[in-house]
Amino acid sequence: MAQDNFSQVTEFILLGLSDTRELQLLFFTLFLLAYTMVLLGNLLIIVTVRTDPKLSSPMYFLLCNLSFIDICYTSVTIPRALVALLSGHKAIAFGSCMAQLFFLHFVGSSEMFLLTVMAFDRYTAVCRPLHYTAVMARGACWALLAACWAGGFIHSLVQTVLTLQLPFCGPHTIPSYFCDVPPIVRLACADTALTEWLMASNSGLISLGCFLVLVASYALILAKVRAHLRQGHWKVLSTCTSHVMAVTLLFVPCIFTYLRPAGALPTNKYVCAIYTVLSPLLNPLIYTLKSSEVKESMWRLWKRCRA
């Protein structure tokens, strides 16, 4: 019977952000600008870090990988949304929808884990400077990065398998511009209470757990900085403040979206835009404008390109 239910829905309809043509064109322009800035900004960071030997520290190694993840993350949702906004074609095949869901959670959770590792890197540099070289050796950085991707893959696989086990035989409209777990689960024609709690405990607790670890690490850094108010530590404080802003924009909307059963409240599509569009857009600015080393390297790269 479950297999029959699966076969009755071959595609979903992504309703997008608005049915008004004028607003659709406005959102298309905004999304296109945001995606272009994400691509250019993060590619610039990757090229700068990869071509400048002075940016070989673990912090910049992790920053380079964060830029790569942001490019992948936005590429999962925004290009499909741009096509739908411009053409008006809102249908997405069942298989394509499941693939988008898988890669969204794969890359998104990998980014959460990576941001946690970056906070640990800053904590070690500030609070354990004598052990920093040993703790954050290149081999350890690669191992932490692999753990981030592996954790993201396992998390996404669980979410996707749980979704695929559900029967879909009725409504097939998704009130968003991309496929995600909460709105899809609400379309299942079965009792999904247990599945919803399993998914909430998976995505929600990962979001909340990583966020609490990040807050704790930055709180420890703040306590260390307050005990040694020198000029260099004021710079660290300013950097940590901007980082906290970045992770808040990503984690708080995710906690709001995933740390509850899918049927509890409707998913706010504008809240989803914060962590799928706005957060990746601001990451290159937040993580580079506070770094004089990156700005100087970008200036040297610009001069080499003009020569």
Residue 1 has pLDDT above 50, yes or no: no
Closest CA to 294 of 279, 307, 280, 284: 284
The angle subtended at Cα 132 by Cα 128 and Cα 135, nearest 5°, is 110
Per-residue model confidence as pLDDT tens digits over 222-269: 887 776 655 555 566 666 777 788 888 889 888 888 887 655 555 678
The range of the structural domain enclosing residue 127 comes to 11-302
| In a domain? residue 307 | no
pLDDT score at 235? 60
Query: Which has the minimum average pLDDT: 19-23, 40-44, 104-108, 286-290?
Result: 286-290
Read off the CATH number of the domain in which 15 is found: 1.20.1070.10
* Distance from C-alpha of 245 to C-alpha of 175, rounded to nearest angstrom: 28
Query: What CA–CA distance (Å, rounded) separates 126 from 122?
Result: 6
| Helices and strands (H and E) in the chain: how many | 12, 3
In a domain, 2, yes or no: no
Rounded distance between C-alpha atoms, residue 186 and residue 147, angstroms? 32
Q: What letters, b where the CB count within 10 A reaches 16 and e where it falls short, cover 269-297? A: beebbbbbbebbbbbbebbbebbebbeeb
Quote the CA–CA distance of 105 and 154 in Å, as a whole number.
10
| 173-174 and 11-14 beta bridge pairing | parallel
Give the mean pLDDT of 106-116: 95
Residue 160 lies in a domain: yes
pTM: 0.89
**Residue 4: predicted pLDDT:** 44
> Is residue 3 in some structural domain?
no
**251 belongs to a structural domain:** yes
Whether residue 202 has pLDDT greater than 70: yes
Residue 208 inside a domain? The answer is yes
Q: Is 4 contained in some domain? A: no
Give me the pLDDT at residue 266, please: 57
Domain count, the chain: 1
Any idea which of 150-159, 161-170, 191-200, 264-273 has the lowest mean pLDDT?
Answer: 264-273
Report yes or no on 1 lying in a domain: no
In this predicted structure, the answer to whether residue 156 has a pLDDT above a threshold of 60 is yes
